[in-house]
Structure 1
Amino acid sequence: MDGKCLRGAVRADGSRMVVLAAVRHDDALTAALREIGAKTNEIPEFAPLLDSVDDADLHEAVITVDAMHTQKDHARYLVEDRHAHYLLSVKTNQPTLAGQLRKLPWAKAPVLDRSRDRGHGREEVREVKVVSVDGLLFPHARQAVRIHRKRRPLGAKKWQTETVYAVTGLPAHQASPAEIASWARGHWIIENTVHWTKDVTFVEDASQARRHHTPAVMSALRDLTRTALHRAGWTNIASGRRDYTRPDATLNLHGIP
């Protein structure tokens, strides 16, 4: 789950339009999207968004969200109400929990998953340590995660480093370090695939549609178009759009003869 500001859609009071979306890791399908009201933020819209997702789709699913949504009520909602699991980033918005995680004996813990990637003009190395926990000041937390990232432009010698922490409600026998690392990387599909396509291919941020709920509706329609083309086998959504400009071709795409 992640929020996106529709930069061109400014309300009459000057506030920005934001939508919160839930996207599947495996195929980047947008399962739900919700407009964030002018006088609120993403946090109280977390449960209402997932309330629109069927229990069968959420049952035993692992929900990944950024640090804004590392909220105790969110964890309880996922585990107790929806019988789902979580992998939540932890930053300074939860200072007590962040302090607990930093003080864990990471120096004694081995690196349990290591990966190296090259792409987009840079090289990245990720090292993951995972420890089982009991008594953290966070509901249902069973494992703590430390991810150490090193990045550098291709050909450069100097690395930039970053250490991030996370918690999951899954115990060690249900979530291996490799799986946790995969979920942490997979979370960024919403930024790298969904948001990027809507901004670059559909030029969403340049849209100045702003009346009533039109910006959120148009954002949902862009998701529908992107998903339909993806399911039809298009990896380049821009090419798919060009190929389905005729009404009859568009109907065929949706299985309407």
Structure 2
Amino acid sequence: MALCTVAAVGGWRAGQLEPADGLRALAVDGKSLRGSRTRSRTAIHLLAAVLHGEKTVIAQGQVDSKSNEITAFQPLLAPLELTGTVATFDALLPQTGHGRDEIRRLKAATVAQLSFPHAVQALQIVRRHRAS
């Protein structure tokens, strides 16, 4: 029921947008919901389509726990009118299989007295992978 509501609201919102003068930019990305994993259930993973300029989610869906973003990508975008739209997505979607599990973690922190002019935040990127 909730996903039907998201689709209905996203479709309605997309229909309310003013026509774009040029190309419209759409970002598609997935995120695992922090804290949603339990001993008996994998983490809930959502895939969303966001219009860059309007900062509006026009489509979102839960990725099946036995699937991945690649199989959820086309069904997510199928009901949308994408004429005049450029879609961007991360490197996971064009891949057909890379033979490893990968976890990327980003941490941002405010840091005083960085060696770079006007910089007030630092970003730590940790990437772990293991062969499947």
Question: So what's the TM-score if we normalise by structure 2?
Answer: 0.50
What RMSD in Å do the two structures reach over aligned CA positions?
3.1
Show the counterpart of 2:87.
63
Deviation at 1:7, TM superposition (A): 1.2
Match of 2:88, SS state, is strand
Q: Deviations over 1:167-206 (max 9, x none)?
A: xxxxxxxxxxxxxxxxxxxxxxxxxxxxxxxxxxxxxxxx
Give the counterpart letter for 2:49 in structure 1. A
Q: Percent identity among equivalent residues?
A: 33
Shift of the 39–11 alpha-carbon distance from structure 1 to 2, 3 Å rule, reads: farther
Show the counterpart of 2:116.
154
Show the counterpart of 2:78.
51
Deviation at 1:71, TM superposition (A): 4.6
The gaps in structure 1 that reach 5 residues or longer are 73-91, 94-119, 122-151, 157-257
Show the counterpart of 1:17.
44
Once residues 115 and 73 of structure 2 are traced to their aligned partners in structure 1, the CA distance between those partners, rounded to angstroms, is 36
Match of 1:44, SS state, is helix
Shift of the 50–153 alpha-carbon distance from structure 1 to 2, 3 Å rule, reads: farther
Write 1 or 2 for the structure with the bigger share of helix: 1
Deviation at 1:14, TM superposition (A): 2.9
Match of 1:43, SS state, is helix
Does the CA-based 8 Å contact 1:17-1:38 persist in structure 2? yes
Which residue, 46, 53, 59 being the options, matches 1:32?
Answer: 59
Flag the structure with more relative contact order, 1 or 2, with Cα contacts below 8 A and sequence separation at least 6.
Answer: 2
Give the counterpart letter for 2:75 in structure 1. P
The gaps in structure 2 that reach 5 residues or longer are 1-27, 99-108, 119-132
Deviating runs (4+, > 3 A) in structure 1? none
Give the counterpart letter for 1:43 in structure 2. I
Once residues 40 and 74 of structure 2 are traced to their aligned partners in structure 1, the CA distance between those partners, rounded to angstroms, is 27
Deviation at 1:45, TM superposition (A): 0.3
Does the CA-based 8 Å contact 1:5-1:18 persist in structure 2? yes
Match of 1:8, SS state, is coil
Q: Deviations over 1:31-87 (max 9, x none)?
A: 10010111111110000000132x2xx113100000001258xxxxxxxxxxxxxxx
Match of 1:48, SS state, is helix
Which residue, 29, 38, 48 being the options, matches 1:2?
Answer: 29
Q: How many residues align?
A: 79
Give the counterpart letter for 2:41 in structure 1. G
Show the counterpart of 1:125.
none
